[in-house]
Amino acid sequence: MTDLAVKNAELLFTAGLLDKLAAMQRELGGEIYLVGGTVRDLLLGKQPGDLDLTVSSQPKRWAEQLRQLTGGACVELGREEGTFRIVTPQGAVLDFSGFRQGTTCIEDDLRRRDLTVNALAAPLHEFLYDRSRAALPVLDPTGGLNDLAEQRICAISEQNLLDDPLRLLRVFRFAAKLGFAIEPETLDQVRQHSPLISKVAKERIAYELDAIMATNQAHTAVLGLRDCGLLWEILPELRAGVGMSQPASHHLDVFEHCLEALRQIELVLADLPSYFAEGGAALAAYLDEHPKRLVQVKWAAFLHDIGKPVCFGTKEDAQGGRITFYNHDLRGADLFTAFSRRLRRSREDTEATARLIAGHMRPFFLANNQRKGKLTLRACLRLIRDAGGQLPGLFLLAMADALAGKGEDSPKAIEEEVSGLFAQLQRIEQEHVAPVQAAPPLITGNDLITELHLVPGPLFRTILEAIEEAQMEHTISNRAEALALAAEIAAKDDTSRGQRVKSVDQAFSEYRRFSK
C-alpha cells in the first residue's frame, strides 16, 4: 500500500477538472497534493466525500481561479492555515489549503496533523503534466500506511493534540468512522489532557459529536469517551445517572441504560425488518427524509433518560418504597435542549431530538393500555397527531428503550408489542388520518365567526382540532355535525362566555391577527 492508482484518483474529478487544474498549475506554479482523508479513503477503497488539496503557496488564488473557471462558489472556511472551499456547478467540492503552521514542505505539513492515517499525501503536479502515469506515490512521513494496514488510530504526537485539543475528540470520531482500534499510548494522552476540551469552540465540538453519532460505531466511541473522561467534560449532566438505581423493570443503572439504548438502536437501525415485521418501509423513509435524521434519533436514544436523576423519587406501596421518575421525559427534553444550545447546535436538530425525548414514554403508555384491553382509537389518534412526522422515530426509540431494559418486571413480549403497535398506528394513519387530512375541512375559523359568532382566540384551535379528531373517529361526517360539536365545545369553555362578536368585520380582523 505505497502507491495510489491513478484510475482511482481520476474518479474524483468531474469532467474537465483535471484540465483546469493543469492550466492553473502552469500559471501559478508550485506544488499541489491530494492530502488527508481523500488519500486515506482512496487507499481503503472508499469514495471520499470531498477533495482535499494542499498547495505550496497562494491557496486563495488557486481557489479563486478555479471558481472563475468553473462558475462555482467559493467560501473561506476560516482555519488558521487558510482553507478555501469551492463547490462547482456539477456538485464537486474541493478544499484548497496552504502548508500549515508556517511549514515550507508537504512532509512537515503532514507532521503537524492529528492522526497518522490522516497524514498522507499524493503529489498531483507532475501527474497534471504527464497523464500516462499508472500510480501516484504516497508520501507518509508518520507511518500512516502501516496504521491503515493494522487498522489502528494513532496520534502523530502528544504536542499535536495539545496544539488543537479538538483532536482529542477526533481520535474517537475517526475510530468510529473507520472501525479502527485506538492505540493505547494515544488513549493515555487523551485521558491525561481531556480537560483541555473546554478550551475548544462549542460549534467544533458539536460537529465532531454529530459525526460520531452518524457512524455505526457510536456506542463504542461513547464508551471510549467515558473511559478517558472526555464525556464528563462535555456532558457533565450524565454523571448523576451513574449508579442510580431503577425500578425492577430495568437491570441497569440510569447511565448504563442510556448507553445500552444507544447500542440497541444501532442494532435496530442495521436490521429494521428483524425488529419491525411491518412498517419497515415507513421507518426507512423517515430516516431518509432528512440528512440529520439518523443523528437526531441516536442522540435521543442516548439521552432519552437524562431527566431521571432530577426526577428521582420514591413512593410507598405494598412492597415498600418504589422508585419513581415522574415527568422525566419532559425534564429530559429540557435538559437536552440546554445541552444542545450550549454546543450551539442548530435549532432544527435540537427541537427534533427534544421532541423525541419528550414523547418517548407515549408508546409504552399505549402498549400498557393495549395489554389491559383499554386501548382506544382516540388515544392512537392523539399520539399520531402529537408526534407529527416523528412517529416512526418514537417507535425506533421505544424499541431501543425496551431492548435496553431487561429487569425482572419488564413485560416479556414488550418488543413484539412495540412492533405490533407501530404497525397498528400505521394502519390507523392510513385509514383514519390520511383521508381527513386530504379532504377540505368540514368547517374553518371563518365559520366559527359567521355561524357561531365567536371571538378569535386559542379556543379556535381547540375546536378545530376536536372536530378533526371526531371526523377521524368517524363520529361526525358533515358540516352540520361539525358546527354542532363546535357549539357544544364553546358552550363548555369558560373563556368564550360573553365573548360573542359585535361585528363580523371586527372578528375577521381579530382572526387574521391571531392566525399570524
User: What secondary structure does DSSP assign to 266-290, as a single string?
Assistant: HHHHH-HHHH-SS-HHHHHHHHHSS
143 & 93 share domain: yes
3-state secondary structure of 309: helix
Tell me, what's the pLDDT at 73?
Answer: 94
CB within 8 A of 486, min separation 6: which ones? 443, 447, 448, 452, 463, 467
| Residue-number span of the structural domain to which 13 is assigned | 3-149
Q: Which of 210, 234, 258 is the last residue of a domain?
A: 234
Whether 141 and 181 share a structural domain:
no
Domain finish residue from 234, 267, 294 = 234
Three cell numbers, residue 112: 503537524
Alpha-carbon distance of 208 to 195, in angstroms, equals 17
Burial 266-302 (b: 16+ CB within 10 A, else e): bebbeebeebbeebeebbeebbeeeebbbbbbbbbbb
Residues 169 and 182 in one domain: yes
Which of 238, 227, 157 has its CA nearest to residue 194? Answer: 227
| 54 neighbors 33 (Cβ within 8 angstroms) | yes
Residue type, 463: I
Pair (114, 220) in one structural domain: no
72, 104: one domain: yes
194 with 106, same domain?
Answer: no
Q: Please give the model's pTM, rounded to 2 decimal places.
A: 0.91
Residues 35 and 107 in one domain: yes
Decide which of 96, 117, 149 is a domain's last residue. 149
What domain count does the chain have? 4
Where do we find the cell 422515530? 393
pLDDT number for residue 449: 94
Q: How far apart are CA 142 and CA 33, in angstroms?
A: 17
In a shared domain, residues 274 and 358: yes
Amino acid at residue number 299: W
Which three-class secondary structure state does DSSP give residue 191? helix
Strand partners, 314: 323
The verdict on 197 and 137 lying in the same domain is: no
How high is the pLDDT of residue 508? 45
CATH number at 203 reads: 1.10.110.30
8 A C-beta contact, residue 178 and residue 153: yes
The answer on 198 and 126 residing in a single domain is no
* Grid coordinates given for 417: 408489542
Residue ranges of the chain with per-residue pLDDT less than 50: 1, 498, 501-504, 507-508, 510-511, 514, 516
pLDDT at 514: 47
Nearest-angstrom CA–CA distance, 398 and 361? 8
Q: Does 162 share its domain with 134?
A: no
User: How many CB atoms neighbour CB 142 within 10 A?
Assistant: 23
For residue 21, the domain's CATH number is 3.30.460.10
Check whether residue 11 and residue 32 sit in a common domain. Answer: yes
Distance (Å, whole) CA 360 – CA 401: 9
